[in-house]
Amino acid sequence: MKRSTAIARTSLLFAALLSAFASGAAQARTCRVADVHGDTYPTNMAVKFMGEEIKKATDGKDSVKVFGNSALGSEKDTIDQVRIGAIDMVRANGAAFNEIVPESVIPSLPFLFRDIEHFRKVMYGPVGQKILDAFAAKGFIALTFYESGARSIYAKKAIHTPADMKGVKIRVQPSDLMVDEIKAMGGTPTPMPFSEVYTGLKTGLVDAAENNIPSYEETKHFEVAQIYSETQHAMTPEVLVFSKKIWDTLTPQEQAAIRKAAADSVPYYVKLWTAREQAATATATKGNATIVPASQVDRAAFVKAMQPLWTKYETTPQMKDIVNAIVATKFSMQSMPLLKRINDAFALVLTLVAALCLATLTVLVFYGVVMRYVFNNAPDFVEPIALLMVVAIAMFGAALKVREGGHIGLDSFVERLPAGGKRAAHVLQKLCLIAFAVVIFIGCFDMAETTFGDRIPILGLPEAVRYWIPIVASVAIALFALERLIGLFAQDAR
């Protein structure tokens, strides 16, 4: 009896262990990811990097397998498969979701982003997250955006103005926005799957296409459309989405690991993409492609032609708010690294000096009060040093507020002006600040020279010290105002 009980217990234990093992094995998953590009394309490499991060976070339980070169179907087909849960993830161009997720239209609006720094600041911030969140209602969990450079026109002829687009059949993605965009630019839009573009260009089914430079080079489209004109009409991002049906079956820990891995893949991707753009340009030009630089394209004429599209696609107050938030995003000085580095260093030094002066002033005043009222022996050096500290705090603080945009500016009046009036008022403010700084610099420099031989009573320092402080502050004000002024001119928002 004891023996049969022991056997029964052993059998139950073995069955429990086998069940636990089977359960653990069932939970392990390999996420299948679809992509139209090849294995060495930055998006594929970034998703593979993401897979390695997921594997580390889940102790090897979960992994990712990328199926590139449209192995699982066309971009549209794989999006549909992800939506119904047949595939875990897909990396697709944002325009491919335009008919499904209305908010996905916004980043594709022509000439929305001023430059790549503006794009990054918006799409990897709260505004971009708001757009990603909109995918959930349509059966997708949007994990992140990947930048894809600026889309431009390539054909057998150069494109400089909208007039050059007349009668040109241009392949576009199956998106109403893309169709309307090419129409507005003067061309004839022809929707076509990405995998068919090379043949279409070669046989004359289409005369041109539009894409970023790495896609142009990787697909060897430069062999059949040798002239790449940098119209830079859109910065439509790539988007990585997960099937919501499958996502809802994951544990919170798995979901968190996937989200973190996706976010961590972005800096890795940006490095790959930047290098890829440079290499693609070199390869295409070696293959007899001609690059028409943006400076030779009449951007203003194209922008003017695009204006009606903004109104047409701002279909809801929420979408209009998102567009306005993107337009209002402040100019990033990262596109001018030298001036930014100079001003960053200058601002840091002024902040430290002002803080030191404030601390010194606090100690001096306390010391002076104690010596005067407790010991009846007021030191004579406290007042002249305190005066210098006050001047430094006031002048350096004023300069720092210019960089922050916190100077006096009649905001209540300016806000009542139309858009053009606001811009003119802001430009005038910055010019006035620069003029003020120049006047201060010249006047104080002259006084410093005149009083250099004189000495401050008690301290024995040159009188010129009193004027060195505003001289330094005036230089800072001029540089900081110049930074703001350049930022205003860079914001050709629409």
Q: Is the model's pLDDT at 336 over the cut of 80?
A: no
> Residue 25: which pLDDT band, with cuts at 50, 70 and 90?
very low
Residues near 366 by beta carbon (within 8 Å), at least 6 away in sequence: none
Q: Is the model's pLDDT at 492 over the cut of 60?
A: no
Q: CA nearest 174: which of 81, 103, 79, 90? A: 79
Spatial separation of the C-alpha atoms in residues 48 and 58, rounded to whole Å: 15
Mean pLDDT value of segment 312-316: 82
Q: List pLDDT tens digits, range 161-192.
A: 999 999 999 999 888 888 999 999 999 999 99
Q: Is the model's pLDDT at 7 over the cut of 50?
A: no
Q: List pLDDT tens digits, range 360-400.
A: 999 999 999 999 998 888 898 988 999 999 999 999 999 99
Residues near 318 by beta carbon (within 8 Å), at least 6 away in sequence: 103
Please tell me the predicted confidence (pLDDT) of residue 184.
Answer: 92
The SS3 assignment for 208 reads strand
- Which one is predicted more confidently, 305 or 199? 199
Q: What percent of the chain has pLDDT over 70?
A: 88
Q: Is the model's pLDDT at 244 over the cut of 70?
A: yes
Residue type, 130: K
Q: Is the model's pLDDT at 423 over the cut of 60?
A: yes
Find residue 92's DSSP bridge partners.
239
Q: Is the model's pLDDT at 23 over the cut of 70?
A: no
Characterize 32-69 residue by residue with b for buried, 16 or more Cβ atoms within 10 angstroms of its Cβ, and e for exposed: bbbbbbeeebbbbbbbbbbbebbbebbeeebebebbbe
Q: What's phi and psi for 6, nearest 5 deg?
A: -65, -40
Q: What is the mean pLDDT of the chain?
A: 87
Q: List pLDDT tens digits, range 425-455.
A: 778 888 999 999 999 999 999 998 888 888 8
> Residue 15: which pLDDT band, with cuts at 50, 70 and 90?
very low
CA 131-46-34 angle, 5° bins: 75
Find residue 242's DSSP bridge partners.
89, 141
Mean pLDDT value of segment 467-477: 94
Residues near 227 by beta carbon (within 8 Å), at least 6 away in sequence: 154, 155, 156, 157, 158, 159, 289, 290, 292
Burial class (CB in 10 A: 0-12, 13-18, 19+), 252: exposed
Query: For the whole model, what pTM was predicted?
Result: 0.60
Q: Is the model's pLDDT at 8 over the cut of 60?
A: no
> Could you tell me if 210 and 172 are in contact, meaning their C-beta atoms sit under 8 angstroms apart?
yes
- Which one is predicted more confidently, 71 or 327? 71
Q: List pLDDT tens digits, range 90-108.
A: 999 998 998 899 999 999 8
> Residue 416: which pLDDT band, with cuts at 50, 70 and 90?
low
Mean pLDDT value of segment 114-135: 91
> Residue 156: which pLDDT band, with cuts at 50, 70 and 90?
very high
Q: Is the model's pLDDT at 254 over the cut of 90?
A: yes
Please tell me the predicted confidence (pLDDT) of residue 14.
Answer: 39
Q: Is the model's pLDDT at 305 over the cut of 60?
A: yes
> Residue 473: which pLDDT band, with cuts at 50, 70 and 90?
very high
What are 372's two structure tokens? 């005067």
Please tell me the predicted confidence (pLDDT) of residue 321.
Answer: 87
> Could you tell me if 455 and 421 are in contact, meaning their C-beta atoms sit under 8 angstroms apart?
no
Please tell me the predicted confidence (pLDDT) of residue 410.
Answer: 63
> Could you tell me if 224 and 284 are in contact, meaning their C-beta atoms sit under 8 angstroms apart?
no
Q: List pLDDT tens digits, range 26-76.
A: 467 899 999 999 898 999 999 999 999 999 999 999 999 999 999 999 999
The domain spans of the chain are 335-490
Characterize 305-341 residue by residue with b for buried, 16 or more Cβ atoms within 10 angstroms of its Cβ, and e for exposed: bbeebbeebbeeeebeebbeebbebebbbebbeeeee
Please tell me the predicted confidence (pLDDT) of residue 237.
Answer: 94
> Residue 2: which pLDDT band, with cuts at 50, 70 and 90?
very low
Residues near 163 by beta carbon (within 8 Å), at least 6 away in sequence: 186
